[in-house]
A and B are shown apart, each in its own frame.
Chain A
Amino acid sequence: QKEVEQDPGPLSVPEGAIVSLNCTYSNSAFQYFMWYRQYSRKGPELLMYTYSSGNKEDGRFTAQVDKSSKYISLFIRDSQPSDSATYLCAMITFGGSQGNLIFGKGTKLSVKP
């Protein structure tokens, strides 16, 4: 079983739609969860960073973590063509490890004008 599973898409939505992106994981030791956005030929850009189960909101973005189900989500409201990118979930265990982010494969999102 892969540690982090993410549907690669592609996902195509009209401008203004609400987008839901999801990842599941198998390792209950994961404690910190991140969402990165990656444009073509660019590095991952941090969007959201969460620790607790529940929701965290930042502008049009909401990150949701459900540790009991080992499931995380990213919601994008009022999606824009500029949101077209690949979205990567990433997670890390607490303490001990000095690094070693584990990434999902990424979901490619296209927002059509």
Chain B
Amino acid sequence: EPEVTQTPSHQVTQMGQEVILRCVPISNHLYFYWYRQILGQKVEFLVSFYNNEISEKSEIFDDQFSVERPDGSNFTLKIRSTKLEDSAMYFCASGRTGGDQPQHFGDGTRLSIL
């Protein structure tokens, strides 16, 4: 069964450094998402992406964050200058269409900021 894959599974970074999280969505999906889950808290929406542009973003997704689909298969989340509070699990998801189709998640990247 097709799945969303994310790399790396764990990323350790010094505060202030840039980090790029990578995702390969399911191949025939057109909508891509990033969510995060701080330890012990809810899964929270960050951003949705369709047709090579951001469709929607949350308050969390400030100027330090950016997303890109550099080629036909990868979808990346960049955090420009990491903060301690960016430590979380980051999940990529994809969906065949927009809100009326379910989103399928990868296993996440655990980001640890030191």
Interface residues contributed by chain A, number (CB under 8 Å): 28
Are A44 and B91 in contact, CB atoms less than 8 angstroms apart? yes
Contacts of A45 in B (CB 8 A): 105
Contacts of A106 in B (CB 8 A): 42
Are B45 and A101 in contact, CB atoms less than 8 angstroms apart? yes
Contacts of A96 in B (CB 8 A): 99
Contacts of A97 in B (CB 8 A): 56, 98-99
* Interface size classification for chain B: 20 to 34
Contacts of B108 in A (CB 8 A): 41-43
Contacts of A42 in B (CB 8 A): 107-108
**Interface residue from A41, A100, A104, A105 paired with B45 (Cβ < 8 Å):** A100
**Interface residue from B6, B42, B56, B106 paired with A100 (Cβ < 8 Å):** B56
Are A46 and B48 in contact, CB atoms less than 8 angstroms apart? no
Contacts of B45 in A (CB 8 A): 99-102
Taken together as a complex, chains A and B put the C-alpha atoms of A102 and B43 apart, in Å, by 8
Contact A94 B99, CB 8 Å, known A44-B43, A100-B48: yes
Shortest distance in angstroms between A88's beta carbon and chain B's nearest beta carbon?
7
B27 at the interface (CB under 8 A from A): no
Taken together as a complex, chains A and B put the C-alpha atoms of A101 and B46 apart, in Å, by 10
Taken together as a complex, chains A and B put the C-alpha atoms of A51 and B101 apart, in Å, by 10
B83 at the interface (CB under 8 A from A): no
Taken together as a complex, chains A and B put the C-alpha atoms of A105 and B93 apart, in Å, by 18
User: What are 29 of the A-B contact pairs (CB < 8 Å)?
Assistant: A32-B99, A32-B100, A34-B102, A36-B105, A42-B108, A43-B4, A43-B6, A43-B91, A43-B107, A49-B102, A94-B99, A94-B100, A96-B99, A97-B56, A97-B98, A97-B99, A98-B48, A98-B55, A99-B48, A99-B56, A99-B95, A99-B98, A99-B103, A100-B58, A101-B35, A101-B43, A102-B45, A103-B42, A105-B41
